[in-house]
């Protein structure tokens, strides 16, 4: 092209570097997607974002098999020196078709004590619906210490047209709950 | 005295230009469509960026006109949202980034003594896909339901569940922008890595080259993550995935983590080349060597590395655990150390220098002062507890416009005034340039400074209406906005005049204190430079 034509070695070096940079680009594109599972792992460890985790579901099976012994064991383990205030919040994302409200709006419980929160879901539409509730807890770290033994949010719920159902969630708070958490909010969003 | 040096240079490099005649620019539109010449492509990038700057500026004028008074007067709220969104996208991806790429194309080969960019054909491609990206983005404003209205940060679920049909167009155009900047970045890295003239060692590289090299690595690291984020938005919206949808087991907050993993390094992509420009201009008009060259290089590298550890400072209000908030707060504050090193070095360069106040220097001085303001308000925002008050208010708007307008844009204007005579061969209209400087300097502060006040008082951003107590300041802000917008037309007129070669011819070394290989070639810079590598003196 010009007097100082690009030499063959130069050309080779360029191609090699371009290949490496393209590889780096591809890796970073993959990394963008890898952030999704990484984020889940990270949240699991740190309790970021107030999710309630899959392991609760597994514990549930164990808990249901051993209801009596577990409660007994728990009895000894109740931390009566503390009482935590829980507030229930509900959001329905199903438009106007489904009404969703907590029956127990606030609860006071000791860590280690079994408790129940009741919710009411009303289908005001003319069709039967399947709904799924997604929980979220704040402050986020508290999510690590809330253990559910039964929850309507574990699976989809079926509601007939114009029907009202009550649902319960059984849970207890871990006695390891950090001292600085005095109050928690449980929010359920219904889809 | 100037002319003496320049004659010598011309004689020295006369041999360079002799053999250029066989390969001059082609004629007409084909020259621009098919060009692989780094100077042509640089000019294309710069003109494209300037046009986009005016288009995005026009949208800002719509925003300021609506906010001139409380209540809704001129545009619908939905259209207002489209304006804030597309204004942001155009200014970031259409104006600032292509303008820096244009400067890189023009100057990097000339600064390192290379005949052209390493990959000229890819260079042509990376420019020519850009206009299509922005045509698609602008066309999306005219589809039914309007263009993107979810803010340039396109948070889910605004961009997934609640967005209009134009979202596919938005995603497609962001993909093209991303591909273009990745190709541009690869080109810059390969050029700097492999094409330096013999003797141009790493620590002789001009700082503009250094900062661009690091910027290019940042681009390769984060633009693919942005591409991933828009792809996930696309599949969430149209193909039933649930990356960001809690109903399907996803998490909308995760969107923010992915976006800001790209987004924070992105702000350094827009400011590191600016640091390079200021580090070039300040020594030239202080007639001293840059103070602390190596510390500048290391400061740039550490800013780039730290930029990957601070993304969640945009998300303090999403309910993170306290220790995470503290971590991101301290990391963010840590960045002010290398940045402070830079500001200190610029001031130390000027200290006891023989300073003269040519227009590039005026813009550089304004940059140093006003960018530092923007840095300070950034430091305020970094403090987690007060961020809860500042978050999503006009204080944030004031902060990032100080770093982007009086930072990035001012540095670009300074660069244009510094190298324009080299590009065109004539001195631009200095009177007009000074008028442009003073009008811009005053109006930009009238425009952005009061935003701090209304922000602290609680005025939220991205809302077309506001409470009555903010009315006075908003009127002043809007007037400043209109004045700043009009001032840029002075710049347009000046550049057109200079490109038509109206002005005094300049010597090869336009500024007596300037250093660098670009001043050893003729003015205007011949179509091909350094076809034989220059000799690098110590
Ligand atoms: Cu940031």
Which of B2, B110, B149 minimizes the C-alpha distance to B524? B110
Q: Which of B13, B38, B313, B401 is catalytic?
A: B313
**Structure tokens, A133:** 């509730």
CB contact under 8 A, A141 and B225: no
- HEC string of B128-163 equals HCHHHHHHHHHHHHHCCCCCCCCCCCCCCCCCCCCC
CB contact under 8 A, A32 and B228: yes
**Structure tokens, A74:** 């728990």
B528 is catalytic: no
Percent of chain B's residues with pLDDT above 70: 95
CA distance B350 to chain A (A): 39
Using the Cα atoms of residue B280, residue B282, residue B288 and residue B290 in order, give the sign of their dihedral: negative
pLDDT at B44 over 70: yes
* Chain B residues touching A51 at Cβ < 8 A: 251
Query: Quick check: B225 and B262 in contact, CB under 8 A?
Result: yes
Residue of A nearest to B243 (CA): A36
Kindly state the average pLDDT of the residues A24-32. 92
Quote the CA–CA distance of B178 and B159 in Å, as a whole number.
18
Mean pLDDT of chain B: 91
Percent of chain B's residues with pLDDT above 90: 81
Closest CB from A21, A49, A136 relative to B220: A21
pLDDT at A54 over 70: no
pLDDT, tens only, B86-140? 999 999 999 999 999 999 999 999 999 999 999 999 999 999 999 999 999 999 9
Which of A68, A175, A103, A1 minimizes the C-alpha distance to B22? A1
Q: Find the helix or strand (DSSP H, E) in which B507 lies.
A: none
CB contact under 8 A, A17 and B321: no
pLDDT, tens only, B228-274? 999 999 999 999 888 988 777 788 888 999 999 999 999 999 999 99
Q: Sorting pLDDT into bands at 50, 70 and 90, what band is A64?
A: very low
pLDDT at A144 over 70: yes
Closest CB from A4, A36, A50 relative to B115: A4
Query: Quick check: B123 and B38 in contact, CB under 8 A?
Result: yes
Quote the CA–CA distance of A123 and A131 in Å, as a whole number.
10
pLDDT, tens only, B54-74? 999 999 999 999 999 999 999
Ligand 1 centre to CA of B363 (Å) is 25
Mean pLDDT of chain A: 74
CA distance B19 to chain A (A): 8
pLDDT at B2 over 50: no
Quote the CA–CA distance of B224 and B374 in Å, as a whole number.
28
Q: Sorting pLDDT into bands at 50, 70 and 90, what band is A170?
A: confident
Quote the CA–CA distance of B390 and B317 in Å, as a whole number.
10
**Structure tokens, B307:** 């930029």
- pLDDT of the residue at B273: 96
Adjacent-strand bridge partners of B431: none
- HEC string of B99-131 equals HHHHHHHHHHHHHHCCCCCCCHHHHHHHHHCHH
Residue of B nearest to A143 (CA): B321
Determine which of A36, A41, A45, A179 to mutate to test the interface with B (most B C-beta atoms within 10 Å).
Answer: A36
pLDDT at A4 over 70: no
Kindly state the average pLDDT of the residues B431-443. 96
Burial class (CB in 10 A: 0-12, 13-18, 19+), B4: exposed
pLDDT, tens only, B505-521? 999 999 999 989 999 99
Which of B519, B404, B459 minimizes the C-alpha distance to B110? B519
Percent of chain A's residues with pLDDT above 70: 77
Ligand 1 centre to CA of B175 (Å) is 22
Which of B361, B432, B375 minimizes the C-alpha distance to B407? B375
CB contact under 8 A, B324 and A14: no
pLDDT at A81 over 90: no
* Chain A residues touching B528 at Cβ < 8 A: 2
Kindly state the average pLDDT of the residues B422-447. 96
Quote the CA–CA distance of B81 and B75 in Å, as a whole number.
10
Kindly state the average pLDDT of the residues B155-162. 88
Would you mind telling me the total number of residues written for chain A in this entry?
191
B391 is catalytic: no
**Structure tokens, B447:** 């425009």
Which of A116, A139, A131 minimizes the C-alpha distance to A164? A131
CB contact under 8 A, B194 and A50: no
Query: Quick check: A40 and B310 in contact, CB under 8 A?
Result: no
- pLDDT of the residue at A171: 80
Quote the CA–CA distance of B91 and B132 in Å, as a whole number.
16
- pLDDT of the residue at B163: 87
Neighbours of B488 (CB within 10 A): 19
Adjacent-strand bridge partners of A189: A91, A134
Q: Sorting pLDDT into bands at 50, 70 and 90, what band is A188?
A: confident
CB contact under 8 A, A14 and B118: yes
- pLDDT of the residue at A86: 82
Q: Pick A57 or B403 by higher pLDDT.
A: B403
- pLDDT of the residue at B248: 76
- pLDDT of the residue at B16: 41
pTM: 0.85
pLDDT at B13 over 60: no
Residue B214's Cα: distance from chain center in Å?
Answer: 15
B393 is catalytic: no
Residues of chain A contacting B, Cβ within 8 Å: 1-4, 10, 13-14, 17-18, 21-22, 24-26, 28-29, 31-33, 35-36, 39, 43, 46-51, 93, 132, 134, 136, 138-141, 189, 191
Q: Pick A51 or B430 by higher pLDDT.
A: B430
Query: Quick check: B332 and B313 in contact, CB under 8 A?
Result: yes
Query: Quick check: B8 and B518 in contact, CB under 8 A?
Result: no
Q: Residue A89, SS3?
A: strand
Kindly state the average pLDDT of the residues B377-405. 94
Q: Can you identify the CATH homologous superfamily of domain B3-537?
A: Cytochrome c oxidase-like, subunit I domain (1.20.210.10)
- ipTM for the predicted complex comes to 0.84
Query: Quick check: B388 and B317 in contact, CB under 8 A?
Result: yes
Q: Pick B485 or A57 by higher pLDDT.
A: B485
**Sequence ranges of the domains in chain B:** 3-537
Quote the CA–CA distance of B182 and B224 in Å, as a whole number.
8
CA distance B208 to chain A (A): 21
Ligand 1 centre to CA of B341 (Å) is 19
Number of continuous H segments (helices) and E segments (strands) in chain A: 3, 10
In degrees and rounded to multiples of 5, residue B516 shows phi and psi of 130, 155
* Chain A residues touching B258 at Cβ < 8 A: 32, 35-36
Quote the CA–CA distance of B227 and A34 in Å, as a whole number.
13
DSSP for residue B523: S
Adjacent-strand bridge partners of A173: A146
- pLDDT of the residue at A10: 83
Query: Angle at CA B319, nearest 5°, toward B314 and B320?
Result: 75
Lowest-confidence pick of B214-218, B484-488, B518-522, B532-536: B532-536
Which of B365, B380, B363, B404 minimizes the C-alpha distance to B452? B380
Kindly state the average pLDDT of the residues B385-410. 95
* Residues less than 5 Å from ion ligand 1, measured at CB: B 264
Neighbours of A45 (CB within 10 A): 9
Kindly state the average pLDDT of the residues B469-482. 95
- pLDDT of the residue at A53: 47
Q: Exposure string (b/e) for B397-414, b if CB count within 10 Å is 16 or more?
A: bbbbbbbbbbbbbbbbbb
Query: Quick check: B180 and B130 in contact, CB under 8 A?
Result: yes
Quote the CA–CA distance of B89 and B141 in Å, as a whole number.
13
Q: Sorting pLDDT into bands at 50, 70 and 90, what band is B222?
A: very high
- pLDDT of the residue at A107: 81
pLDDT at B441 over 70: yes
CA distance A69 to chain B (A): 33
Quote the CA–CA distance of B401 and B375 in Å, as a whole number.
11
- pLDDT of the residue at B69: 93
Q: Which of B204, B434, B461, B497 is catalytic?
A: B461
Quote the CA–CA distance of A55 and A44 in Å, as a whole number.
10
**Structure tokens, A16:** 């090699």
Would you mind telling me the total number of residues written for chain B in this entry?
538
């Amino acid at each position: 092209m010009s007097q100082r034509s690009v030499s063959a070695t130069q050309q080779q070096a360029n191609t090699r570097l371009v290949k490496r940079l393209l590889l780096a680009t591809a890796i970073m594109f993959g990394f963008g997607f890898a952030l999704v599972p990484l984020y889940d792992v990270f949240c699991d460890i740190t309790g970021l974002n107030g999710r309630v985790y899959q392991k609760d579901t597994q514990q549930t099976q164990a808990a249901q098999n051993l209801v009596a012994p577990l409660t007994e064991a728990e009895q000894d383990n109740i931390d009566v020196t503390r009482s935590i205030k829980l507030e229930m919040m509900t959001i329905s994302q199903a438009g106007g078709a489904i009404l969703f409200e907590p029956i127990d709006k606030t609860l006071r419980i000791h860590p280690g004590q079994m408790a129940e929160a009741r919710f009411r879901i009303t289908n005001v539409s003319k069709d039967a619906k399947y709904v799924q509730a997604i929980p979220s807890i704040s402050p986020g770290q508290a999510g690590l210490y809330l253990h559910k033994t039964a929850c309507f949010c574990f699976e989809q719920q079926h509601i007939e047209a114009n029907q009202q159902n009550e649902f319960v969630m059984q849970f207890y708070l871990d006695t390891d709950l950090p001292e600085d958490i005095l109050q928690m909010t449980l929010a359920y969003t219904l889809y | 005295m100037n002319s003496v040096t320049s004659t010598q240079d011309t004689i020295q490099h006369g041999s360079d230009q002799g053999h250029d005649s066989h390969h001059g620019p082609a004629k007409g539109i084909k020259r621009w469509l098919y060009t692989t010449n780094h100077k042509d492509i640089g000019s294309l990038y710069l003109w494209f960026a300037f046009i986009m700057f005016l288009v995005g500026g026009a949208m800002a004028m719509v925003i300021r006109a609506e906010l001139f008074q409380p209540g809704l007067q001129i545009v619908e709220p939905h259209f207002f949202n489209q304006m804030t969104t597309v204004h942001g996208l155009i200014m970031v991806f259409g104006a600032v980034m292509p303008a820096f790429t244009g400067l890189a194309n023009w100057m990097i080969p000339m600064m390192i003594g290379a005949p052209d960019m390493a990959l000229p054909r890819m260079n042509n491609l990376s420019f020519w896909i850009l206009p299509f990206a922005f045509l698609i983005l602008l066309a999306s404003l005219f589809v039914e339901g309007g263009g993107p209205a979810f803010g340039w940060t396109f948070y889910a679920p605004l961009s997934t569940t609640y967005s209009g049909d134009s979202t596919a167009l938005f995603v497609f155009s962001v993909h093209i922008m991303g591909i273009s900047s990745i190709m541009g970045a690869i080109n810059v890295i390969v050029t700097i890595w492999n094409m330096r003239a013999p003797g141009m060692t790493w620590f002789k590289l001009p700082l503009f080259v250094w900062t661009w090299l690091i910027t290019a690595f940042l681009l390769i690291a984060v633009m693919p993550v942005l591409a991933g984020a828009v792809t996930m938005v696309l599949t969430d919206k149209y193909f039933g995935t649930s990356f960001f949808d809690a109903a399907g087991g996803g998490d909308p907050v995760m969107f923010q983590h992915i976006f800001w993993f790209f987004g924070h390094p992105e702000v350094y992509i827009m400011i590191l080349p600016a640091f390079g420009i200021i580090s070039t201009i300040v020594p030239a008009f202080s007639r001293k060597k840059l103070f602390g060259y190596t510390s500048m290089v290391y400061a740039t590298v550490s800013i780039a590395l730290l930029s990957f550890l601070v993304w969640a400072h945009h998300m303090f209000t999403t309910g993170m655990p306290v220790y995470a908030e503290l971590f991101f707060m301290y990391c963010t504050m840590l960045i002010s150390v290398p940045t402070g090193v830079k500001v200190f070095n610029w001031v130390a360069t000027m200290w006891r220098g023989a300073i003269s106040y040519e227009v590039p220097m005026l813009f550089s001085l304004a940059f140093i002062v006003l960018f530092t303001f923007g840095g300070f308000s950034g430091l305020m925002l970094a403090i987690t507890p007060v961020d809860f008050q500042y978050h999503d208010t006009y204080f944030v708007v004031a902060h990032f416009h100080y770093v982007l307008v009086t930072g990035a844009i001012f540095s670009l204007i300074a660069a244009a005034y510094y190298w324009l005579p080299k590009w065109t061969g004539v001195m631009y209209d200095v009177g007009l340039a000074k008028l442009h400087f003073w009008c811009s300097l005053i109006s930009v502060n009238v425009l952005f400074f009061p935003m701090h006040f209304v922000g602290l008082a609680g005025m939220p951003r991205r809302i077309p209406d506001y409470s009555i107590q903010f009315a006075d300041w908003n009127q002043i802000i809007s007037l400043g906005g209109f004045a700043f917008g009009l001032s840029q037309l002075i710049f347009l007129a000046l550049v057109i005049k200079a490109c038509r070669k109206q002005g005094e011819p300049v010597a090869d070394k336009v500024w007596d204190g300037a250093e660098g290989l670009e001043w050893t070639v003729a003015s205007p810079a011949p179509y091909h430079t350094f076809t034989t590598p220059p000799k690098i003196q110590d």
